Amino acid sequence: MCQEKFKIEYPILKMRVGSHLYGTNGEDSDEDFSGVFLPNREYLFGLKNVEHVNCGIVDKDASGKNTINAVDYTMYEFRKFVSLALANNPNIIEMLFVNDSDIIYSNSVGQELLANKHLFPHKGAMKRFIGYARSQRHKMIVKKESIQAFSKAIEYLKELPANMILAELPHNLPYLKRDGKRGWQFKCGDIQLDRSCTVKRALKIFIKRSGEATHRKDNILKYGFDLKFASHLIRLLIEGEELLRTSQISFPILEHKKVLDIKQGKWSLPDILAYADELEIRCEEALNISTLPQTQRFKEFNKFVIDILSNHV
Protein backbone atom coordinates (compact mmCIF):
# COMPACT_ATOMS: atom_id res chain seq x y z
CA MET A 1 0.00 0.00 0.00
CA CYS A 2 1.38 3.40 -0.98
CA GLN A 3 2.16 5.76 1.87
CA GLU A 4 0.83 8.97 0.32
CA LYS A 5 2.80 11.34 2.53
CA PHE A 6 6.07 10.02 1.11
CA LYS A 7 4.87 10.09 -2.48
CA ILE A 8 3.31 13.54 -2.38
CA GLU A 9 5.04 15.62 0.32
CA TYR A 10 8.67 14.47 0.17
CA PRO A 11 9.64 13.35 -3.38
CA ILE A 12 12.85 14.62 -4.93
CA LEU A 13 12.84 12.54 -8.13
CA LYS A 14 10.39 10.63 -10.25
CA MET A 15 11.31 9.06 -13.57
CA ARG A 16 10.28 6.55 -16.21
CA VAL A 17 12.09 3.21 -16.01
CA GLY A 18 11.58 -0.27 -17.43
CA SER A 19 10.91 -1.23 -21.04
CA HIS A 20 9.77 2.26 -22.11
CA LEU A 21 13.15 3.58 -20.96
CA TYR A 22 15.17 0.71 -22.42
CA GLY A 23 13.49 0.92 -25.81
CA THR A 24 12.17 -2.65 -25.51
CA ASN A 25 8.49 -1.87 -24.98
CA GLY A 26 5.69 -3.22 -27.14
CA GLU A 27 2.26 -1.83 -27.87
CA ASP A 28 0.78 -3.47 -24.75
CA SER A 29 3.70 -2.80 -22.38
CA ASP A 30 2.72 -1.36 -19.01
CA GLU A 31 4.38 1.75 -17.58
CA ASP A 32 7.15 1.60 -14.97
CA PHE A 33 8.18 4.50 -12.78
CA SER A 34 10.59 4.90 -9.92
CA GLY A 35 11.81 7.70 -7.72
CA VAL A 36 13.45 8.94 -4.55
CA PHE A 37 11.95 10.62 -1.49
CA LEU A 38 13.36 12.24 1.65
CA PRO A 39 12.33 10.76 5.00
CA ASN A 40 10.47 13.03 7.40
CA ARG A 41 11.85 13.71 10.89
CA GLU A 42 9.85 10.85 12.38
CA TYR A 43 11.58 8.34 10.12
CA LEU A 44 14.95 10.09 10.22
CA PHE A 45 15.35 10.40 13.99
CA GLY A 46 12.78 7.99 15.43
CA LEU A 47 12.52 4.23 15.59
CA LYS A 48 10.46 3.87 12.43
CA ASN A 49 12.17 2.85 9.21
CA VAL A 50 11.17 2.78 5.57
CA GLU A 51 13.46 1.85 2.66
CA HIS A 52 11.03 1.92 -0.24
CA VAL A 53 7.34 2.50 -0.91
CA ASN A 54 5.23 0.72 -3.52
CA CYS A 55 2.87 3.19 -5.20
CA GLY A 56 1.94 1.03 -8.18
CA ILE A 57 -1.43 0.23 -9.73
CA VAL A 58 -2.27 -3.46 -10.18
CA ASP A 59 -4.37 -4.31 -13.25
CA LYS A 60 -4.13 -7.77 -14.82
CA ASP A 61 -6.04 -9.57 -17.53
CA ALA A 62 -7.51 -13.09 -17.26
CA SER A 63 -4.14 -14.71 -17.98
CA GLY A 64 -2.42 -12.79 -15.18
CA LYS A 65 -0.58 -10.45 -17.54
CA ASN A 66 -0.31 -6.78 -16.64
CA THR A 67 -2.63 -4.67 -18.78
CA ILE A 68 -1.63 -1.37 -20.35
CA ASN A 69 -3.32 0.32 -17.38
CA ALA A 70 -0.99 -1.31 -14.84
CA VAL A 71 1.70 0.88 -13.33
CA ASP A 72 4.84 -0.26 -11.50
CA TYR A 73 5.95 2.60 -9.29
CA THR A 74 8.55 2.25 -6.51
CA MET A 75 9.89 5.15 -4.44
CA TYR A 76 13.21 4.70 -2.59
CA GLU A 77 14.15 6.46 0.62
CA PHE A 78 17.05 8.85 -0.08
CA ARG A 79 19.70 7.14 2.08
CA LYS A 80 18.75 3.70 0.78
CA PHE A 81 18.93 4.92 -2.81
CA VAL A 82 22.38 6.46 -2.33
CA SER A 83 23.63 3.31 -0.61
CA LEU A 84 22.41 1.06 -3.43
CA ALA A 85 23.73 3.43 -6.10
CA LEU A 86 27.14 3.51 -4.38
CA ALA A 87 27.17 -0.28 -4.52
CA ASN A 88 26.41 0.06 -8.27
CA ASN A 89 23.21 -1.93 -7.95
CA PRO A 90 22.16 -2.23 -11.64
CA ASN A 91 18.48 -1.42 -11.10
CA ILE A 92 19.37 1.69 -9.10
CA ILE A 93 22.44 3.21 -10.74
CA GLU A 94 20.76 3.21 -14.16
CA MET A 95 18.19 5.65 -12.74
CA LEU A 96 20.90 8.31 -12.49
CA PHE A 97 21.44 8.29 -16.25
CA VAL A 98 17.90 8.59 -17.62
CA ASN A 99 17.32 11.20 -20.30
CA ASP A 100 15.80 14.54 -19.29
CA SER A 101 12.68 13.60 -21.25
CA ASP A 102 12.18 10.59 -18.93
CA ILE A 103 12.38 12.64 -15.74
CA ILE A 104 8.81 13.29 -14.60
CA TYR A 105 9.68 15.36 -11.54
CA SER A 106 12.84 16.75 -9.97
CA ASN A 107 13.30 19.37 -7.27
CA SER A 108 16.55 21.06 -6.19
CA VAL A 109 17.68 18.03 -4.15
CA GLY A 110 16.94 15.67 -7.02
CA GLN A 111 18.89 17.90 -9.39
CA GLU A 112 21.83 17.94 -6.98
CA LEU A 113 21.74 14.15 -6.79
CA LEU A 114 21.75 13.84 -10.59
CA ALA A 115 24.53 16.44 -10.86
CA ASN A 116 26.77 14.03 -8.92
CA LYS A 117 25.89 10.95 -10.98
CA HIS A 118 29.38 10.71 -12.47
CA LEU A 119 30.80 10.08 -8.97
CA PHE A 120 28.79 6.88 -8.38
CA PRO A 121 30.24 4.35 -10.89
CA HIS A 122 33.33 2.36 -9.96
CA LYS A 123 35.01 -0.84 -11.12
CA GLY A 124 32.90 -2.85 -8.69
CA ALA A 125 30.10 -2.43 -11.24
CA MET A 126 31.63 -5.33 -13.15
CA LYS A 127 30.85 -7.81 -10.40
CA ARG A 128 27.38 -6.41 -9.73
CA PHE A 129 26.17 -6.35 -13.34
CA ILE A 130 27.57 -9.77 -14.19
CA GLY A 131 26.22 -11.17 -10.93
CA TYR A 132 22.72 -9.85 -11.65
CA ALA A 133 22.94 -11.07 -15.24
CA ARG A 134 23.94 -14.58 -14.16
CA SER A 135 20.98 -14.70 -11.77
CA GLN A 136 18.71 -13.93 -14.74
CA ARG A 137 20.49 -16.61 -16.77
CA HIS A 138 19.75 -19.15 -14.05
CA LYS A 139 16.10 -18.12 -13.81
CA MET A 140 15.48 -18.06 -17.57
CA ILE A 141 15.95 -21.79 -18.09
CA VAL A 142 12.99 -23.66 -16.67
CA LYS A 143 12.64 -27.32 -17.65
CA LYS A 144 9.23 -28.66 -18.57
CA GLU A 145 9.57 -31.23 -15.79
CA SER A 146 10.19 -28.44 -13.28
CA ILE A 147 7.07 -26.55 -14.35
CA GLN A 148 5.02 -29.72 -13.94
CA ALA A 149 6.47 -30.24 -10.47
CA PHE A 150 5.76 -26.62 -9.53
CA SER A 151 2.16 -26.94 -10.72
CA LYS A 152 1.57 -30.07 -8.63
CA ALA A 153 3.24 -28.53 -5.58
CA ILE A 154 1.18 -25.33 -5.94
CA GLU A 155 -2.06 -27.33 -6.23
CA TYR A 156 -1.16 -29.33 -3.12
CA LEU A 157 0.10 -26.44 -0.98
CA LYS A 158 -2.92 -24.21 -1.70
CA GLU A 159 -5.03 -26.60 0.40
CA LEU A 160 -2.77 -26.28 3.46
CA PRO A 161 -2.59 -23.61 6.21
CA ALA A 162 -0.38 -20.73 5.10
CA ASN A 163 1.69 -20.75 8.31
CA MET A 164 2.46 -24.49 8.20
CA ILE A 165 6.18 -25.21 7.71
CA LEU A 166 7.54 -27.70 5.19
CA ALA A 167 8.98 -29.90 7.95
CA GLU A 168 5.39 -30.85 8.84
CA LEU A 169 4.62 -32.22 5.36
CA PRO A 170 4.59 -35.95 4.45
CA HIS A 171 7.97 -37.51 3.69
CA ASN A 172 7.46 -38.91 0.21
CA LEU A 173 5.73 -36.39 -2.03
CA PRO A 174 6.95 -37.08 -5.61
CA TYR A 175 7.06 -33.37 -6.52
CA LEU A 176 8.37 -32.03 -3.20
CA LYS A 177 11.24 -34.25 -2.17
CA ARG A 178 12.84 -34.35 1.23
CA ASP A 179 16.65 -34.51 1.57
CA GLY A 180 18.24 -34.52 5.02
CA LYS A 181 21.83 -34.69 3.73
CA ARG A 182 21.97 -30.97 2.85
CA GLY A 183 21.34 -27.73 4.69
CA TRP A 184 18.04 -27.50 2.79
CA GLN A 185 15.38 -30.12 3.29
CA PHE A 186 13.01 -29.93 0.34
CA LYS A 187 13.46 -29.75 -3.43
CA CYS A 188 10.89 -29.02 -6.11
CA GLY A 189 12.11 -28.79 -9.70
CA ASP A 190 15.29 -26.72 -9.51
CA ILE A 191 14.32 -24.92 -6.29
CA GLN A 192 15.67 -25.86 -2.87
CA LEU A 193 13.90 -24.77 0.31
CA ASP A 194 14.76 -25.05 3.99
CA ARG A 195 12.52 -27.18 6.19
CA SER A 196 11.52 -24.09 8.18
CA CYS A 197 10.02 -22.41 5.08
CA THR A 198 6.30 -21.74 5.42
CA VAL A 199 3.67 -22.92 2.96
CA LYS A 200 2.87 -19.29 2.18
CA ARG A 201 6.47 -18.47 1.22
CA ALA A 202 6.91 -21.73 -0.73
CA LEU A 203 3.78 -20.95 -2.76
CA LYS A 204 5.04 -17.46 -3.55
CA ILE A 205 8.39 -18.85 -4.75
CA PHE A 206 6.88 -21.63 -6.88
CA ILE A 207 4.29 -19.32 -8.45
CA LYS A 208 6.90 -16.73 -9.35
CA ARG A 209 9.36 -19.30 -10.72
CA SER A 210 6.87 -21.16 -12.86
CA GLY A 211 4.97 -18.22 -14.24
CA GLU A 212 1.81 -19.87 -12.92
CA ALA A 213 0.20 -16.50 -12.23
CA THR A 214 1.31 -14.88 -15.49
CA HIS A 215 1.08 -15.29 -19.25
CA ARG A 216 4.77 -16.29 -19.33
CA LYS A 217 4.14 -19.95 -18.53
CA ASP A 218 2.94 -20.65 -22.09
CA ASN A 219 6.08 -19.01 -23.48
CA ILE A 220 8.28 -21.08 -21.18
CA LEU A 221 6.62 -24.28 -22.42
CA LYS A 222 6.86 -23.10 -26.04
CA TYR A 223 10.48 -21.92 -26.06
CA GLY A 224 11.97 -23.85 -23.17
CA PHE A 225 13.06 -20.70 -21.38
CA ASP A 226 11.64 -17.45 -19.98
CA LEU A 227 11.82 -14.67 -22.57
CA LYS A 228 11.64 -11.90 -19.97
CA PHE A 229 14.60 -13.19 -17.98
CA ALA A 230 16.51 -13.78 -21.22
CA SER A 231 16.03 -10.15 -22.26
CA HIS A 232 17.14 -8.95 -18.82
CA LEU A 233 20.25 -11.14 -19.04
CA ILE A 234 21.41 -9.46 -22.24
CA ARG A 235 20.30 -5.96 -21.21
CA LEU A 236 22.29 -6.08 -17.97
CA LEU A 237 25.48 -7.14 -19.74
CA ILE A 238 25.06 -4.41 -22.38
CA GLU A 239 24.54 -1.79 -19.67
CA GLY A 240 27.45 -3.09 -17.61
CA GLU A 241 29.88 -2.97 -20.52
CA GLU A 242 28.89 0.58 -21.43
CA LEU A 243 29.18 1.78 -17.82
CA LEU A 244 32.69 0.34 -17.54
CA ARG A 245 33.79 1.78 -20.89
CA THR A 246 32.18 5.22 -20.76
CA SER A 247 31.16 5.84 -17.11
CA GLN A 248 27.51 6.19 -18.16
CA ILE A 249 24.49 4.26 -19.46
CA SER A 250 22.60 5.35 -22.60
CA PHE A 251 18.85 5.16 -23.13
CA PRO A 252 17.39 3.61 -25.15
CA ILE A 253 20.03 1.04 -24.26
CA LEU A 254 22.63 0.16 -26.84
CA GLU A 255 21.52 -2.75 -29.05
CA HIS A 256 17.97 -2.40 -27.73
CA LYS A 257 16.55 -3.90 -30.92
CA LYS A 258 18.39 -7.15 -30.22
CA VAL A 259 17.02 -7.21 -26.69
CA LEU A 260 13.50 -6.60 -28.01
CA ASP A 261 13.88 -9.45 -30.51
CA ILE A 262 14.94 -11.75 -27.66
CA LYS A 263 11.96 -10.62 -25.61
CA GLN A 264 9.67 -11.46 -28.55
CA GLY A 265 11.07 -14.99 -28.94
CA LYS A 266 13.07 -14.38 -32.13
CA TRP A 267 16.34 -15.76 -30.75
CA SER A 268 17.11 -19.40 -29.92
CA LEU A 269 18.40 -20.36 -26.49
CA PRO A 270 21.89 -21.37 -27.80
CA ASP A 271 22.24 -18.02 -29.59
CA ILE A 272 21.23 -16.10 -26.45
CA LEU A 273 23.68 -18.00 -24.26
CA ALA A 274 26.48 -17.57 -26.80
CA TYR A 275 25.80 -13.83 -26.98
CA ALA A 276 25.77 -13.60 -23.19
CA ASP A 277 29.18 -15.33 -23.08
CA GLU A 278 30.48 -12.84 -25.66
CA LEU A 279 29.15 -9.90 -23.66
CA GLU A 280 30.79 -11.16 -20.46
CA ILE A 281 34.13 -11.20 -22.29
CA ARG A 282 33.48 -7.67 -23.51
CA CYS A 283 32.74 -6.59 -19.95
CA GLU A 284 36.06 -8.02 -18.80
CA GLU A 285 37.85 -6.20 -21.63
CA ALA A 286 36.06 -2.99 -20.68
CA LEU A 287 37.15 -3.41 -17.06
CA ASN A 288 40.79 -3.65 -18.13
CA ILE A 289 40.68 -0.26 -19.84
CA SER A 290 38.17 1.40 -17.53
CA THR A 291 39.09 4.77 -16.00
CA LEU A 292 36.58 4.33 -13.18
CA PRO A 293 37.87 4.39 -9.59
CA GLN A 294 38.57 1.05 -7.97
CA THR A 295 36.03 1.44 -5.18
CA GLN A 296 33.09 3.62 -4.16
CA ARG A 297 33.52 7.18 -2.86
CA PHE A 298 31.95 6.48 0.52
CA LYS A 299 33.36 9.45 2.47
CA GLU A 300 32.26 11.98 -0.15
CA PHE A 301 28.74 10.66 -0.30
CA ASN A 302 28.46 10.21 3.44
CA LYS A 303 29.08 13.96 3.75
CA PHE A 304 26.70 14.62 0.84
CA VAL A 305 23.89 12.71 2.57
CA ILE A 306 24.51 14.46 5.90
CA ASP A 307 24.44 17.88 4.22
CA ILE A 308 21.22 17.13 2.31
CA LEU A 309 19.37 15.80 5.34
CA SER A 310 20.63 18.61 7.57
CA ASN A 311 19.39 21.29 5.17
CA HIS A 312 16.12 19.78 3.98
CA VAL A 313 14.62 17.64 6.74
Mapped onto helix, strand or coil, the DSSP state of residue 191 is: strand
More confident residue, 179 or 306: 306
Distance between CA 126 and CA 310 in Å, rounded?
34
How far are the Cα atoms of 25, 222, 237 from residue 218, in angstroms, in the given order? Answer: 20, 6, 26
Of 81, 22, 31, 84, the residue nearest 56 (C-alpha): 31
- List the chain domain ranges: 4-118+296-312, 132-141+225-289, 144-223
State the Cα–Cα distance between residues 215 and 254, nearest whole angstrom: 28
Is the pLDDT at 213 greater than 60? The verdict is: no
Q: What is the pLDDT of residue 110?
A: 97
Query: 180 falls in which pLDDT band (50, 70, 90)?
Result: low
4-118+296-312 classified as CATH 3.40.50.10470 = no
Mean pLDDT (whole number) for 166-195: 78
What's the average model confidence in pLDDT over 300-306?
Answer: 95
Q: Per-residue pLDDT tens for 89-132? A: 999 999 999 999 999 999 999 999 999 999 999 999 999 999 99
pLDDT given for residue 264 in this prediction: 94
Residue 89 CA to chain centroid, in angstroms? 9
Task: Give the pLDDT band (50/70/90) at residue 221.
Answer: confident
Angle (CA) 256-102-58 rounded to 5° is: 85
Give the mean model confidence (pLDDT) for residues 44-52. Answer: 88
Against a cut of 0.85, is the pTM above it? no
CA–CA gap between residue 227 and residue 1 (Å, rounded) = 29
